[in-house]
Structure 1
Amino acid sequence: MDDTRYAVPGWMRVVLPIAGILLFLGLWQALAQLVVADAALLPTPAQIARNLRAWMDGGGFTPHLLATLYGTLGGLAIGAGLGFVLGVIVGEVRVLDRALYPMALALQAMPVVAIAPLVIVWFGIGLASKVALVAIGTFFVMFINTVAGMHAAPPELLDMGRAFGGNRWRIALAVKVRASLDYVFSGLEVCAALSFILCVVGEFLAANAGLGYYLRAASYDINAASMFAAIVVLAALASLLALAVRLAHHRAVFWKYRKQ
């Protein structure tokens, strides 16, 4: 079936999200001014923008931004990297698959936030605990997605690899890993959002810098504009990271997305 008549023009892919954001901001501005009318409860987008600009000009923005980025990206690189490598090995070795995969599923159901205080006790207050918390949370997502992707390799491609004389690990790397990329990048998109959440949780509980630390301090002062400013920055960072992962996804799995 030809789906070209349902395709969205390229210019609409840019215009529609911008229009949606502008509509959302307009509704927010109207709600804050006409309904709530109390900046302490719900500041307007303009007030949040002014607060964010003052925060940046004051020189305190960059240290908090870098602290959160270091914790998020460091933990994501370690957790997702280990999850991918071990997922490939476990997905290929049947004994390990049957021994470890059910346990990984059970551990993924455990809320990482629940062990956050214990992680802080182990690694202390600072960057190490945030990296560890993000790494633990993203590891299981990437591991499970990678194993599922390794199992989803088309049998005809595996038979073709054997017919051409490929050994076990050569077929695994050339066929199964490539077939698993769709699962891997889908898991990485989830990890991109999850990593910021876990990093902020760590900063909320015990940190001396970071956007989560700033957000907690603003909440103590009941400064809604500052709280929303930190939330806006976090949302922008998470969106940019998710967009980068999606672009890499479409590049890596080009045979699936080249017509879209």
Structure 2
Amino acid sequence: MTRLFPPLVTLVLILGAWQFATGPGGLPSYLLPAPWPVAWAIWDGLVGGAFWPHLGFTLTATLTGFAIGSVSAILVGALVAESRLFERFVYPYLVAIQAMPKVALAPLILVWFGFGLASKVVLVALICFFPLLVNTITGIRGADRDLVEMARSFSRSPAFVFLHVKLPAAAPGIMAGLQIGIVLALIGAIVGEFVASDRGVGYLIGSATVNMNVTAMFAGVLVLAAVGMAGSAIIRALHRRVVFWEADPRLPPPSEG
């Protein structure tokens, strides 16, 4: 309850300010709809089943692209961190790809992979790839040099040193990159649906924009916000489980003696 209470207070304040802004003398409904019509649109879409096929399409593109982009980023990041030769040959081009605006690449990706799920997955994988790549490289190269040298002094193989010394040292950075990547993955899926799609929550928001249905637009945006919060919470929970040796910053440091 101590963790839930502050966000709930903030939520109540936001809803109160929202209701006040749309009350008598406030903003017109075509600019900012009141909270209750938006809540009813979300309820009707979820209970009536209209949201679920589109939400399922968006989640499939998001999770599939996130998985492909994350695994690729960790593998490539490990190669770059462990091999200076590989870094010199490949890393400049990875930076060049990251520098390209993904929104500008979206039409080209659609031409190559079509208007279905594949193009959204590719776009999501590209968007969430680079943050995790950088975190992986930084984490592996930031491993304790004394631990690395100690493992080598006991004639441990390079694979053992990587798996038992360097990879655990990089785990906090990798998990932080995953937390950033899951949010970027959702953004990538929505961008792909905005560009060209006949399914997905982004498609629903685009259709509502054409029809000037601001209530439906807000409903879609709030559903996406809830999905993003849930994904971030899951990654944080995995972070606590996977990096179990990392100290909790909310706890006081252990006393000496």
Q: TM-score scaled by structure 2?
A: 0.92
Deviates more, 1:138-147 or 1:209-218: 138-147
Aligned residue type for 1:113: V
Question: In 2, Cα distance between the equivalents of 1:25 and 1:178?
Answer: 43
Choose from 31, 40, 43 the match for 1:50. Answer: 40
Cα distance, 1:259 vs structure 2: 6.1
Say whether residues 1:61 and 2:51 are aligned partners: yes
Q: Number of paired residues?
A: 250
Deviates more, 1:50-59 or 1:144-153: 50-59
Cα distance, 1:18 vs structure 2: 1.3
Query: Residue in 2 aligned with 1:228?
Result: 218
Kept in 2, the 8 Å contact 1:101–1:144? The answer is: no
Cα distance, 1:174 vs structure 2: 1.2
Query: Residue in 1 aligned with 2:164?
Result: 174
Aligned residue type for 1:143: L
Cα offsets for 1:11-68 (capped at 9, x unmatched)? 4322111111111111111111145342221111111001111222333111001010
CA RMSD of aligned residues (A): 1.5
Query: Residue in 1 aligned with 2:11?
Result: 21
Question: In 2, Cα distance between the equivalents of 1:196 and 1:17?
Answer: 22
Query: Residue in 1 aligned with 2:190?
Result: 200
Deviates more, 1:166-175 or 1:208-217: 166-175
Indicate the structure with greater helix content.
1
Aligned residue type for 2:86: L
SS of the counterpart of 1:150?
A: helix
Query: Residue in 1 aligned with 2:70?
Result: 80
Say whether residues 1:103 and 2:93 are aligned partners: yes
Say whether residues 1:114 and 2:104 are aligned partners: yes
Question: In 1, Cα distance between the equivalents of 2:163 and 2:125?
Answer: 24
Deviates more, 1:132-141 or 1:49-58: 49-58
5+ residue gaps, structure 2: 251-257
Query: Residue in 2 aligned with 1:148?
Result: 138
Aligned residue type for 2:20: A
Aligned residue type for 2:179: E
Question: In 2, Cα distance between the equivalents of 1:118 and 1:165?
Answer: 50
5+ residue gaps, structure 1: 1-10
Deviates more, 1:111-120 or 1:158-167: 158-167
Query: Residue in 2 aligned with 1:131?
Result: 121
Query: Residue in 2 aligned with 1:256?
Result: 246
Kept in 2, the 8 Å contact 1:105–1:144? The answer is: no
Question: In 1, Cα distance between the equivalents of 2:203 and 2:111?
Answer: 18
SS of the counterpart of 1:254?
A: coil
Deviates more, 1:106-115 or 1:194-203: 106-115
Aligned residue type for 1:239: M
SS of the counterpart of 1:104?
A: helix
Question: In 1, Cα distance between the equivalents of 2:209 and 2:247?
Answer: 44
Q: TM-score scaled by structure 1?
A: 0.91
Runs of 4+ in 1 over 4 A off after TM superposition: none
